[in-house]
Amino acid sequence: MIAYHILKEIIGDQHLRFHNQEPGIPRRIDPEQYRSRNRIVVISGVRRSGKSTFLKQLALGFPSFLYLNADDDRLIGATTDDLGSLLLIWEELFPGVRTVFLDEIQNIPGWERVVRRMHDEGYKIFLTGSNAQMLSKELGTHLTGRYVRVELYPFGFDEYCAFHQFSWEKKGIHTTNESAAALRLFSQFIEEGGFPEFLKDPDPEILRRTFDDILFRDIIARYAIREVKAFRLLCRYLFTNMTREASFTSLASTVQMKSPVSLKNWIGYLEDSYLIGSLSPFEYSMKKQLSRNQKYYGIDTALRNAVAFRFSDDYGLLLENIVWLELCRRGYELYWLKGQSECDFIAIEQGKSRMVIQVCWHLSDENRKREYDGVIEACTMFPGSGGYILTLQQEEKPAQNIRVMPVWKWILEE
């Protein structure tokens, strides 16, 4: 156990720091809709995506609150007994306060039992975590029906615009200069990504350190991975080749692993830490779907650029990855289509396809038929879906019920 006086010192330090923390850029998620919830609010997402700042934005709606950051190195080895001691310290320092913010709480084993007891005793609880699998397991075991989950990603382009104090009216007539300014900002966004800390201090070392923290602290140490070199090679390969399809067998061969099953587990760890996401091809048969190749995407384009190999022709890859991230932020269930043609995204909401999307850097005479064929085939399979071909800057009048428009405009207006 950690000494009582040390815990008290930690609580005092953290409370003062959190109280003085800047609220940052408002996120797309409105904090007000969660302040009145009776259920536990769980905010999950990759490290450094702004979860602590979003907690601060939530805290602004309460006259008083309690706060704990379990990622503090002074809390290494903390147990549920220490959490029990913290409850006593909180009552001593802040008597009667029943709103609590718990940051990176998954670092304390058994936290979910204490949180359940606190919830039963009338505490309003907001917590964050950086590992989807662990949170899901613990929440599902001990807190079923007691929580609502919010997934937070690095800044989307609209939030990036807010960071740079650039506004774009959704419904309005825009000048050429305004459109050119938006395109310039979006071109920066492709390179700079959406990690708030990096945007404030654009040092690539920040991104590399974040990447290593996730690999070593959240995955390698937690899951006792011994083949560290092969694991890092896999991560780098997936980031270098994101948006491209691959099989477990081919990936295992690339990193020289004998067992595709172990490699599948590694990819699961990367997904649980929010570093990557996978996309399955659409199949009516679940068995067929599971046997097909997956596509892999990265959590941030700047992070990818900092840790992977760069190629001169990879801008289309970055553009597609940005669209994938945007669709994830909007909460769609996603697939890709590989039939007679290919379509990059089928976005499904509440069991119905809402839109099908093809992404290309530039629509030309050489690729126009291929890009249109993919969207047309997907729209035929899913009647009623909106069809889009998203590019860097082209916009055309709708043809065959398919709209061609810039990715940045689709994000800001659609």
Q: Residue range 261-275: average pLDDT?
A: 93
Distance between CA atoms of 390 and 318, rounded to whole angstroms? 13
Domains and CATH numbers, the chain: 4-151 (3.40.50.300)
User: In the structure, what pLDDT confidence band is assigned to residue 115 with cuts at 50, 70 and 90?
Assistant: very high
Q: What's the whole-number mean pLDDT along residues 126-138?
A: 83
In the numeric block, the tokens 């067998």 are attached to 249
pLDDT band of residue 262 (cuts 50, 70, 90) is confident
* Residue bearing the bigger pLDDT, 203 or 144: 203
Q: Does residue 353 register a pLDDT over 90?
A: no
For residue 301, give the DSSP letter: H
Distance between CA 69 and CA 72 in Å, rounded? 6
What is the per-residue pLDDT for 184? 97
pLDDT band at 400, cuts 50/70/90? confident
Q: What is the structure's pLDDT at 118? A: 95
Structure tokens at 125: 């609880």
Q: Whole-prediction pTM value?
A: 0.94
Q: Report how far apart, in Å, the C-alpha atoms of 71 and of each of 52, 108, 136, 262, 314 are.
A: 11, 9, 19, 29, 36
Which band of pLDDT confidence, cut at 50, 70 and 90, is reported for residue 402?
very high
Beta strand 352-359 with 342-349 is antiparallel
Name which residue leads in pLDDT, 316 or 135.
Answer: 316
- Banded model confidence at residue 139, pLDDT cuts 50, 70, 90: confident
